[in-house]
Structure 1
Amino acid sequence: MQLSKTPETDGHAPVNPPQMATSLEGLGVPTYVAEALLLKLLNIEPKINLLQLTQKLAISSNLIQLLINQLREHGYIEVLQPDSLKTPVNGAQGLNSSILRYQLTTSGEAQAKAALKKDGYVGPVPVPLRDYQYMAKQQSLRHSPITQDLLREALNDVYGADQYVDLIGPAINSGRAILFYGDPGTGKSYIANRIIRSLNTPIYIPYAVFVSGNIVRLFTPQHHHELAPSSEQAEIFFNQHHDRRWVLCSRPLVQVGGELTMNMLEVSKCEATGAWLAPLQMMANNGIFIIDDFGRQAMPTDRLLNRWIVPMEYQIDYLSLPNGQQATIPFVTTLIFSTNLTPREIGDPAFLRRLGYKVHFPPLEILDYKALWQAQCELQNFLYDDAPLQHLLSLHKRDQVAYYPCIPKDITRICHDLIVYKKLETRLTPVLVESAWQIYFSDEQLKRMTL
């Protein structure tokens, strides 16, 4: 992989993209891997041309042509005439290669089906593990620290953020795991999601990685947001022949809650396509990985804690691969545990020691709570009146419920639902607030959510 360091500025990737391979050896993966991908692609999409093959495999047309020539020699591919697209061409000399189309022979179809049975991945040629390891380390958040201004801007609409913003910033820059803890409804998950807005340096993510004989798909639209390159970046792509196997993306945010299982943290097979998928923590590299509702997973808490001891300590992770081998990958994600448990309830001293920062989320102060209530009223287009707010505050006092930031949003939404249903004027009243409060809280909740 050829790559040069670029001066970092806001909004620019911390490294230049890898350069496009000019030889089959330069792809960094065995030639048979690229050949198998070409066969599988033609099996799924027959009669496509060189340009389409180039776009789908994300390598140069010269390398595609080399692969085609080799596969034709083995009798796996045939060339179709551009006019009828039915009659094979014995020798394509004299014809413009851009208008030729290709399809598999009978033996080529057998080879493609065998390749698909072994591995269902069809897409861009994977990058070698060593290139991914290098890029992941170079794009670590430690090389692109956030500043107080960036984080405050990212949380500028979060009421009460001043209580913890200056703890979260250093925690993110440290590269260590973070614990967000506090009562339900204090905004832990919401703020964890908003932090990603302060990470304004894009990164390059490969579509797939070749790891010890296995293609592991890494890029997924669910977790990776592809960015259009800036004019300066586009010029770099053009002048340096950017390797199109790498995608310019915003830093990823991967979040998982009570549904988390150990299988999600290992290479797994996609039931729909048969391709091998990267684990969640690998998808979150160079970004943020949130384990929400920590303590509510089906697996024992201590087992989940033990899974993270080595990655948190050494910034590497060991993956078990489909062929039985193990691979070492970088663990360069900001790991955030969000929980309703206290550090004492988590209990494992070895784990707690590796949590560099523990950020407590308390209820709001009354001034922030009032401001949040007014903002939610405006969001619902209610005609503002101070009487409903005063009644709401009296309910808090009566039932000894702290000023949790989730309450104004949820109560105003219930009020909106009641107004629509009963065809009332879009104005809050103490009676509406009382009704919403009774709907929102059960007796058991009121017993738990006390001051």
Structure 2
Amino acid sequence: MGSSLKNELVPQISPPKVPANSKALGIPAVVVENLLLKFLYAYPKSDLIELTQRLAVVSHIVEDALVQLRNRNLVAVYQPTTDFSSSVYSDVRYGLTELGISEADTAYHKDAYLGPLPIALSEYIDVIQAQDIRVQPITRSDVNRALADVYGSHHLVPILGPAINSGRALLLYGHAGTGKSFVASKVLNALSTSVFIPYAVYADGNIIRVFSAQHHRRLDDNHSQKFASLESHYDKRWVLCERPNIQVGGELTMEMLEVNQNEHNRVWNAPLQMMANNGILVIDDLGRQSMPVEALLNRWIVPMEYMVDHLSLPNGQQISVPFYLTLAFSSNLPPSSIADPAFLRRIGYKIEFNPLDESDYIELWNAVAKEKQLELCDGFFDVLFELHRDRQVEFYPCLPKDLLGISRDILVFDEQERLVSPMILRSAWGLYFTID
């Protein structure tokens, strides 16, 4: 999403309030204490400011937890000392006792999460429901704006708009190169609202990390503030982000759709659909995943029907989380070969993507050439259309970018002017298309 669109985004809900005390956190005190132990294990002799920043809560919540840990002889206090040369007193610092190190080690072996205190599951559910896409329906002008740079989109606007407003699953199908994934990445631009995403959620004894720098694009700099002020700042355990736009293809596994553990540490991560709440999850190249298509589709029957997903936790318990997202399947296959009629009925909208018409195709070529700072020679389109007729290739939106990319590579290598001649076009075409 471009910077201009970012500036237009406004939070759909009022910012989550800073919890004023430990009770307002809605999580057990032991969660706060264990996280403090792990931080002091990782960052010995931290002061109150550092610990407050790391847990992202007001300082007296941290102080209360430190008192409890000191009473149990798990934390020791390092009193300030005077630096007579500068007349400055150092901060009070906290460290672990031998017993505290043992307790921290036990906490680490349960899970290695280090980050802001998790949000209670009940609070997470409330916020996700309040940020539901359907609360503020989009209009035709919104979708026109979102797809302004998508050539041939006038055929899609009347279909995509109602589809997004419905909140139901989508099936985008059509020949490879017709722009299914590209359009799917653009549709959320129609929504002018941003959402709050938690760093982590606490559920039945488990901390589940939700915010992902890979999948989420943050909009705020609230995390850089040293203190959480009850008056001027919202709860720093939440991150203000663009609506999630997660796309996954052939690399998708069933494990990624459950609470899963990072192979490099013992942190439990939310499944992709939980990370995509209040946004869109695109399952691209349906049929290329390692699991059977039927198994993948069956995974979504209950969430699509009831807007709730049941997840198994590491300790064997099961929780229910909201399924408030647009789930989009993208495939080069016709719907009848993907799933049976009963499942297809559960997918609210089946949207076919077709090649461009000639006028849109020419416009797209000219736009891509300008973007790549290339000039198309006189008679360029006569040669191009001849190649299309000879090979019986339709006007796919992917071709201008791909073929001009190859053309530019050839011109740069041969130190030629940035003019795409018939010979260069034919060379690029021959390199791009295989001979059956």
Residue deviations 1:185-242 (CA, integer Å, cap 9, x gap)? 0000011011122222111111111111111011111111221279xxxxx9753752
- Long gaps (5+) in structure 1: 1-9, 86-94, 231-235, 445-451
Q: 2:305 matched to 1:307?
A: no
TM-score normalised over the length of structure 1: 0.90
Is the CA contact 1:71–1:77 (under 8 Å) kept in the aligned structure 2? yes
Amino acid of the structure 1 residue aligned with 2:121: L
Equivalent positions of 1:354-369 (< 5 A) are 354-369=346-361
Residue deviations 1:85-139 (CA, integer Å, cap 9, x gap)? 9xxxxxxxxx98x921111111111110110001111111111111111111110
**Residue 384 of structure 2 corresponds to which residue in structure 1?**
392
**Residue 81 of structure 1 corresponds to which residue in structure 2?**
79
Range with bigger deviation, 154-163 or 360-369:
154-163
Equivalent positions of 1:162-201 (< 5 A) are 162-201=154-193
Amino acid of the structure 1 residue aligned with 2:198: P
- Give the deviation of 1:353 after TM superposition: 0.3
- Give the deviation of 1:14 after TM superposition: 2.3
C-alpha distance 229-56 of structure 1, shift in aligned 2 (>3 A): closer
- Give the deviation of 1:23 after TM superposition: 2.2
Is the CA contact 1:17–1:237 (under 8 Å) kept in the aligned structure 2? no
SS of the equivalent of 2:351 reads strand
Range with bigger deviation, 416-425 or 315-324:
416-425
**Residue 62 of structure 2 corresponds to which residue in structure 1?**
64
SS of the equivalent of 1:197 reads helix
2-structure distance, mates of 1:287, 1:209: 18
Equivalent positions of 1:188-337 (< 5 A) are 188-228=180-220, 239=231, 242-337=234-329
**Residue 129 of structure 2 corresponds to which residue in structure 1?**
137
Aligned with residue 30 of structure 1, among 10, 24, 28: 28
**Residue 373 of structure 2 corresponds to which residue in structure 1?**
381
2-structure distance, mates of 1:200, 1:76: 49
- Long gaps (5+) in structure 2: 1-7, 223-227
C-alpha distance 237-391 of structure 1, shift in aligned 2 (>3 A): farther
- Give the deviation of 1:83 after TM superposition: 3.2
2-structure distance, mates of 1:130, 1:413: 50
- Give the deviation of 1:389 after TM superposition: 2.0
2-structure distance, mates of 1:400, 1:257: 28
Is the CA contact 1:378–1:384 (under 8 Å) kept in the aligned structure 2? no
- Give the deviation of 1:388 after TM superposition: 1.9
2-structure distance, mates of 1:260, 1:281: 12
Q: 2:34 matched to 1:39?
A: no
- Give the deviation of 1:49 after TM superposition: 1.2
C-alpha distance 393-114 of structure 1, shift in aligned 2 (>3 A): same
Equivalent positions of 1:362-441 (< 5 A) are 362-441=354-433
C-alpha distance 366-425 of structure 1, shift in aligned 2 (>3 A): same
Is the CA contact 2:48–2:92 (under 8 Å) kept in the aligned structure 1? yes
**Residue 15 of structure 2 corresponds to which residue in structure 1?**
17
Is the CA contact 1:212–1:325 (under 8 Å) kept in the aligned structure 2? yes
SS of the equivalent of 1:443 reads coil
- Give the deviation of 1:48 after TM superposition: 1.5
Range with bigger deviation, 216-225 or 33-42:
216-225
> Taking every aligned residue pair, what percent have the same amino acid on both sides?
48
Residue deviations 1:54-89 (CA, integer Å, cap 9, x gap)? 11101110110001111011111111133389xxxx
TM-score normalised over the length of structure 2: 0.93
**Residue 4 of structure 2 corresponds to which residue in structure 1?**
none
Is the CA contact 1:373–1:389 (under 8 Å) kept in the aligned structure 2? no
1-structure distance, mates of 2:181, 2:253: 19
For the aligned residues, what is the CA RMSD? 1.9
**Residue 449 of structure 1 corresponds to which residue in structure 2?**
none
Is the CA contact 2:376–2:421 (under 8 Å) kept in the aligned structure 1? no
Amino acid of the structure 1 residue aligned with 2:280: I
- Give the deviation of 1:343 after TM superposition: 1.0
Is the CA contact 1:209–1:217 (under 8 Å) kept in the aligned structure 2? yes
2-structure distance, mates of 1:56, 1:49: 11
**Residue 3 of structure 2 corresponds to which residue in structure 1?**
none
Task: State the number of aligned residues.
Answer: 420
Residue deviations 1:16-44 (CA, integer Å, cap 9, x gap)? 12222222222111100100000000100
1-structure distance, mates of 2:14, 2:126: 12
Q: 2:111 matched to 1:119?
A: yes
C-alpha distance 229-110 of structure 1, shift in aligned 2 (>3 A): closer
Range with bigger deviation, 356-365 or 380-389:
380-389
1-structure distance, mates of 2:384, 2:125: 54
1-structure distance, mates of 2:133, 2:284: 21
Amino acid of the structure 1 residue aligned with 2:181: S
SS of the equivalent of 1:46 reads coil
2-structure distance, mates of 1:324, 1:380: 54
SS of the equivalent of 2:160 reads helix
